[in-house]
Structure 1
Amino acid sequence: MSSTQKDTIKVDLGGREVTVPKGGLYDRYRMDPDLEAIARDPRVSGVDFFRKLPKIKVDSPIGPTLTPNFYYTISTARLTMLAPSHAIRARLPEELSPLEVVPGLGLVSVMFFRYDVCDIDFYTEAAVGIAVKPARHGKLGLFDLVSGLKNEHLHSYVLALPVSTEIAQVRGHDGYGFPKWVTGLDVDIDNHRTTARVANDSGGVDLSLLANTPAQRAYVSGERVGSLTSYTTIDGAWHSTLNQTNVLSAGTTRSTSGITLQLGEGRMSDDLRSLKPKRTIQFDVMTEGQAALHMPVPTSVQSRSK
């Protein structure tokens, strides 16, 4: 038996069998963590953020589960770009509308995530997303735009969301309705450099990033908590998913100096090209943070005007 086989076990998620690390957080706790034990992990700076978020048991397409999903140590990077609204609308369901900076120009993002310690164990993730108006919000307000650029209260529709592990793919696709698939995906973020590489089906480059990390500012836990609401459909019905982020160290730059985004061949690069991005206007990096990802809930949306 190989070392990989020895170090993993099989678990069932709504009739789908996936492998997880033997002795990892999912194997030990099945989404019901011992916060005191996790607090002793040297990679985790604290667990106070999670003490105020009690988990509840819910039924879901992946079977009964506890929500929210806790992410104890994460790092993220996001490139925000301007793109023509007509290209964005062509990729959005008719019920959603782009968040526009000015008439005719919306916001799209390429994002990378590294989850070092979380309820479903280590994995990496990348995304191509579109900033949208909150469902049934009405006309754009200045507050929506400013909050979006500050990463405080974002609403999005995701076109591509590759991940590096089976459990992340099954939970994200079957449980949340996200367009997830498993691929080779490397994300490394520290105070100096931010690098990421998403592989395509043949092992080549789908999309990659090489950049200098913006200067970071430290925050006390709970001082800066942002939210992201994502819209998906599950069995034909619209749902919204809330993700709360506890920022511990982050920085932003509007300079594109030292940033190289390479588009290769694959699903992510195809999705980004379809949005016809014009230029990057902001680069956000969080070298340390935490998150609570809630299970999706049904939501009402209204078709946009033609």
Structure 2
Amino acid sequence: MSIRYTATIVGLLLNIAATHVWAQAGAVKEQTAKVPINIAGNDVPVPAGGLYDRYRSNPPLSVIATEAPDVDLSWFKGLKKEKVDIGFESYSPNFYYKNSRITAVFTADIAMLRELMPVAVLKEVQPLQIWPGRGLVAFTAYAYHYCDNDSYNEVALSIITNKPGHSNFGPLSLIGQSLSKDFWGYVLKLPVDTELARVRGVVGYNLPKWLTSIDVKDGEQSLTFSIKDNKTGKTDVVFEGKKLADLSREVGMVNNGFINLDQQGRLTYGHAISRQLAYASSSSADAAKLVLSDGSLSGYIKSLQLGKMVKYEYVPEFQSALYAPAPLASLLNSN
């Protein structure tokens, strides 16, 4: 085969490849075209033709069934949405149809944890002390592949507390929450990578969200979240968790509740119920890795004086329903 002929063939292949890449780039650009939607006075860009653009958190399940035929919607059919005012008109609960997460629970300096919680919140809940001077924080990275808010990624840093209205017995409370699958906490940090998630979270759910880039790498053996510093654009925190092999496929229901203050300084609580479809856990130190830098979130995490990782959870498949916040008094009165 002549060199000229070889060069011609290579050129043709490169042209075909380039055309394919350009076509893909055009498709991505078309898919990510944005339209502005006003939410509580904020002009929020959302994907044109996406779920939120069309249905404002209340899409018919028949639409979901058509667009995502691989998703089991049986659980959502038993949940009723209600129109709510959370600083803007929305529907509760908010549905998350197809998601993944990894969580690492670390010990942390309990004095610092108490210092970071508002006095009003501390009167109702406190960090769980598992041994003298040490509390617990959970670092969780979520990939919401398909939900009422389209799709986005989120990372949560939370203090694990007792349940409002219940005594704090440290390790015994933790065991009780584990057995009942009813976990409670106070959210310290919650970066997200879409403006829709940020505005809805800050205005509607009183959560400490900010907008930044969160890259997700789905590898053969691990799931990795890289969080950028929103001021410098540099990688700030990298959270890598192993894909554990011994997955349970038995459906498990988990409640995650949080207490905080609303825009007027009133005590509120919110909660999300998750339907776990595939999950596993490990206490091995090498199951997860948290890499910190000199960024702002890394500095904040360092101030907590993290110690041993006591548990890692790998949940590659789960569904969730996030309920609108309500006055804490309504929960306390129901206990």
Shared fold per TM-score greater than 0.5: yes
In structure 2, the residue matched to 1:297 is 326
- Aligned position for 1:278: 307
Distance in 2 separating the partners of 1:249 and 1:280: 22
Task: For 1:42 and 1:194, locate their aligned partners in 2 and report how far apart those are by CA, in whole Å.
Answer: 23
Give the match for residue 59 of structure 2: 33
Matched, 1:85 2:110: yes
RMSD: 2.3
Contact 2:128 2:170 in 1 (8 A): no
Q: Which one has the bigger helix percentage? A: 2
Q: By how many angstroms is 1:188 displaced?
A: 3.8
**1:265-295 deviation digits (Å, cap 9, x = unpaired):** 3332222112111111111110010000011
- Aligned partner letter, 1:78: T
Structure 2: segments with no counterpart, 5+ residues: 1-27, 331-335
Stretch of structure 1 that moved more, 231-240 or 151-160: 151-160
Gaps of 5+ in 1: 302-306
1:9 is paired with a residue of what secondary structure? Answer: strand
User: How far has the Cα of 1:184 moved from its partner?
Assistant: 0.6
Aligned 8 A contact 1:185 1:197 in 2:
yes
Instruction: Tell me which of the two structures has the higher relative contact order, counting C-alpha pairs closer than 8 angstroms and 6 or more residues apart.
Output: 1
Q: How does 1:7-156 map to 2 (within 5 A)?
A: 7-42=33-68, 44-61=70-87, 63-94=88-119, 95-96=121-122, 97-140=126-169, 144-149=173-178, 152-156=181-185
1:223-269: per-residue Cα shift (whole Å, max 9, x none)?
31101111121121111011110000011010012532111133322
TM-score (norm 2): 0.82
TM superposition shift of 1:88 = 1.4
| CA distance in 2 between partners of 1:68 and 1:289 (Å) | 16
Q: Which has the larger radius of gyration?
A: 2
Indicate the larger mover: 285-294 or 259-268.
259-268
**What SS class does the counterpart of residue 232 from structure 1 fall into?**
strand
Measured against aligned partners, the alpha-carbon deviations of 1:91-120 in whole angstroms (never above 9, x if no partner) come to: 122332101223432111111000000001
Aligned equivalent of 2:23:
none
Structure 1 residues 143 and 69, CA, compared in 2 at 3 Å: closer, same or farther? farther
**Count of residues in Structure 1 that have an aligned counterpart in Structure 2:** 297
Q: Is the 1:43–1:73 contact (alpha carbons within 8 Å) kept by the matching residues of 2?
A: no
Query: For the structure 1 residues 174 and 44, does the alpha-carbon distance in structure 2 shift closer, same or farther, using more than 3 Å as the test?
Result: farther
1:11-66 deviation line (CA, Å, top 9, x unaligned)? 111111101111111112111112122123447421111111100011121x1211
Q: Tell me the secondary structure at the aligned position of residue 268 of structure 1.
A: helix
How high is the sequence identity, in percent, across the aligned residues? 30
CA distance in 2 between counterparts of 1:261 and 1:274 reads: 15
Contact 2:101 2:141 in 1 (8 A): yes
8 Å CA contact 1:85–1:98 kept in 2: the answer is yes
